[in-house]
Every structure is written in C-alpha cells, then in structure tokens.
Amino acid sequence: MAVLLLGLPTLVYYFWFCLAHNDGQPMVPQLVMLDDFPLPTASSVMIVAGWLVFQGILQILAPGRTVEGTVLRDGTHLTYKLNGWFAWWFTLAVLAVGMALGLVSPTIAADQLGPLLTTANMFAYPIAAFFWLYGKRFQSDDERVTGNAIGDFWFGTALNPRVAGFDVKFFCESRVGLIAWVVIDLSLAAKQYELHGMVTVPMVLVCAFQFWYVADCFLHEEAILTTWDIKHENFGWMLCWGNLVWLPFTYTIQAQYLVHHIHDLPFWGTVGVILLNAAGYAVFRGANLQKHRFRKCPERPIWGAKPEFIATAKGPLLLASGWWGLARHVNYLGDLLMALAWCLPCLFASPIPYFYVAYLIILLVHRERRDHDSCKLRYGKDWDLYCLKVPYRIVPGLY
C-alpha cells in the first residue's frame, strides 16, 4: 500500500506527461520528465479551492429531497439531501454564464491541467490525513480499523465522517470528482477547437458518452446510497484521492489524447461505438435500478414476472432473477462495455487511451472478489445458495 500511495500519483503524472509532452505515446520513464513537472499556479489553486467551496455550498444549500440511507450496523440511518441533479446543472449553468460574460475561459481547465493536477494532490493528501485523524478521534469504525497506520490511512478510519452534519464521503463520491470530470472534458474539447478550428467526431462521442454517464448518476442519485463505497467503504485516502485526483485526471485521458489527435471515424464505426455504449448503459443502469427498486419494493415485477430471490437469515433479500439472475455483478459488465466504447474513438495509434478500460477490468474484477467475500461473511450459507443459483460472477456464461 505504501508503494501505491506514491505509485498511483506517479502514474497519473506519467500519463499527463505522455499526453501533454510525448504526443500521447508511452515512453520509458526518465528523470528528465521532472524538468516539466507542473507546479501549481495562482489560478490552479484558486480553481481547486473555489471548486471545493462552491460544490460544498451547493451540497449544503441546493434544493433537494431528504432521504434515509441504508441501515447502519447499529440499526440507525443517516439522512442525505439529494441535490446532485440541481448542483450538476447549476454548475454547468454558472460556467456557461461565466463564459458568455467573458469571465471564464472555456479552455482554462485544459490550459491549466498540469498545475491543476498538482494542486488537486496538494489538497487531497491533507484532507485524507485530516479525516484519518478525525475518524480515529471521533468516529472510529472499530471493525475496520486495523491499527496499521498505512492501512488505516488508505482505507480510512470512519465509515461516514460528518463535520457539523456535512457528509464528506458523499461529497467526494458524488460531487467534486464527477462534475470536474465532465468540465475538464468540455474544456479539452474547447481546446481542440481553439487549436484546430474543429471538434472532431471522436471528441464529440467521448464527451457526450461521459456527459451522459455523469448526468445519469445524478438523475439516479439515490442509487449511490446503496453502492459498496457508501455502504461498506471507510472514507480514507483511497476514496478521497481517488475522487479528487484519480477520477478527474485519468477518466479524461481519452479527451486529453484527442485534443492533439485529429482523426475521423467511419460511419459504421460511429454507429458501432454508439450502440456499444447504449448496450453497456442498458445493462449498467438496468441492473443497478433493478437492485435498488427490488430492495425498496420486493413485490414489484421484474421483466414482467414475480422476482425470484434468496431470503437471508440476516434480513436483506438477494435478488436472483432479471439482470441479477444472469450474473452476480452483471452491472460491472455494463460499465466495462461503456468503458470500451469511450476508448475506441481514439483508434489504435497509442495504448494510453485504453488505460481506462484496462484499469476498470482490474478494478471491477478485484472489487467483485472483495464484495463476494464480504457478502459471504454477511450472509453465509444464504450467499452460497445464491452463488449456486447464479454461478457467474460478471459475464453471463463466461466468467
């Protein structure tokens, strides 16, 4: 873990360097790369600080309905204000007005990408350190705290750290990184226009797919409350840095690559990636919604039939029909199909844009194993029964 704490940020810088200074091609890491290390600028510090404050204010003040989260181990619930949909559109509207008035440059995020990366790191580490100590002192989740300083820093010491009622994990998971991802994409598209006088079809596809993905997350914001991260993952460096740095700077790799690579797609290629993305979305959203709705109302028909399920001694029901009868994490398959559709518009001159799909395969295969172990622990024999009924992990008939 100590290696990853330093290695993952180094990897993000490596990609940034290859994309900004090596024509998007991989290269053997060299010390000379340090000559171009992006130092923070006054603008980048103001942007990151302003972004965190602005999104924080929106989370507190924007209108939205208040809902109960899932049951915690002590039997209580936390409440969450679901105002992400408002925050998302309001942020885009404010930026659009700022651009129309000439107050915000459309290419600012693209121009400042390197300094923004360093600044985001400068914020993420102290925030993670603060909540590591805060969790230990005030809200320790004893079951998950190991006493190993590095492990606890990585995984966090509290499940839902809240300061004066402000939920920091929900904020990081569902606001700062997700919206920044799309804003950076759009800025990169504007940069492509500035440099080449056009926005190419591949850039439009990548921006549109990712815009849709994030908008959809906010449209179904309540479903975030039943994800693994919110229910089971403590708030540590992994989630903090992951959302503040990893997500906005690696999920935009395709758009970063396309800024300097002007190519078109054949008509059949354009149609193909749109269909692939649509298929991935149908599986991803269909499966996640099905589980969410089933948990809220187990009688609701699934694909026109009464849902099949495994009742557990612990209480929660395990859905075993619909998408969840095809594979135990078929929702991950949907994400992987979409990830591939986001990479393909970059064509095949460099492997770097494909990092995203490769990373997601590793992440989701590993995540499925972790979730499997944790469900096995929670549900024991009932989980075994479910595994017997639904033998595939992610890809029906294959894996």
Q: Residue numbers of the site for ligand NDP (CB under 6 A)?
A: 227-229, 231, 284, 288, 291, 316, 318-319, 324, 329, 331-332, 335, 360, 367, 371, 375
Residue placing its CB nearer to ligand NDP in the complex, 138 or 228 = 228
Q: Which long-range contacts (CB under 8 A, 24 or more apart) does 179-183 make?
A: 179/55, 179/87, 179/88, 179/91, 179/214, 180/51, 180/247, 180/248, 181/210, 181/214, 181/247, 181/248, 181/251, 181/252, 182/207, 182/210, 182/211, 182/214, 183/91, 183/92, 183/95, 183/109
| Nearest approach, Cβ of residue 334 and ligand NDP (Å) | 6
Residue placing its CB nearer to ligand NDP in the complex, 329 or 393 = 329
| Nearest approach, Cβ of residue 378 and ligand NDP (Å) | 6
| Nearest approach, Cβ of residue 319 and ligand NDP (Å) | 4
| Nearest approach, Cβ of residue 119 and ligand NDP (Å) | 22
Q: What are phi and psi of 175, to 5 degrees?
A: -135, -80
| Nearest approach, Cβ of residue 96 and ligand NDP (Å) | 26
| Nearest approach, Cβ of residue 397 and ligand NDP (Å) | 18
Amino acid code (one letter) for 34: L
Which residues 6+ apart lie within 8 Å of 92 measured at CB? 183
Pairing of strands 65-68, 79-82: antiparallel
Write the DSSP assignment of 40-105 as a string of letters.
--HHHHHHHHHHHHHHHHHHHHS--EEEE-PPPTTS---EEEE-HHHHHHHHHHHHHHHHHTTSS-
Residue placing its CB nearer to ligand NDP in the complex, 228 or 303 = 228
Residue placing its CB nearer to ligand NDP in the complex, 153 or 324 = 324
| Nearest approach, Cβ of residue 163 and ligand NDP (Å) | 24
Quick check: 287 and 334 in contact, CB under 8 A?
yes
CA distance 20 to 259: 10
Residue placing its CB nearer to ligand NDP in the complex, 263 or 314 = 314
Shortest CA distance to 50 belongs to which of 106, 131, 126, 104?
104
For residue 361, the SS3 value is helix
Residue placing its CB nearer to ligand NDP in the complex, 134 or 249 = 249
Q: What are phi and psi of 132, to 5 degrees?
A: -65, -45
| Nearest approach, Cβ of residue 247 and ligand NDP (Å) | 7
| Nearest approach, Cβ of residue 298 and ligand NDP (Å) | 10
| Nearest approach, Cβ of residue 318 and ligand NDP (Å) | 4
CA distance 383 to 380: 5
Residue placing its CB nearer to ligand NDP in the complex, 134 or 354 = 354
Residue placing its CB nearer to ligand NDP in the complex, 48 or 336 = 336
Residue placing its CB nearer to ligand NDP in the complex, 37 or 303 = 303
CA distance 179 to 282: 22
Residue placing its CB nearer to ligand NDP in the complex, 95 or 318 = 318
The two structure tokens encoding residue 124: 């993420």
Buried b (16+ CB within 10 A) or exposed e, 255-276: bbbbbebeeebeeebbeebeeb
Q: Across-strand partners of 305?
A: 302
Quick check: 131 and 168 in contact, CB under 8 A?
yes
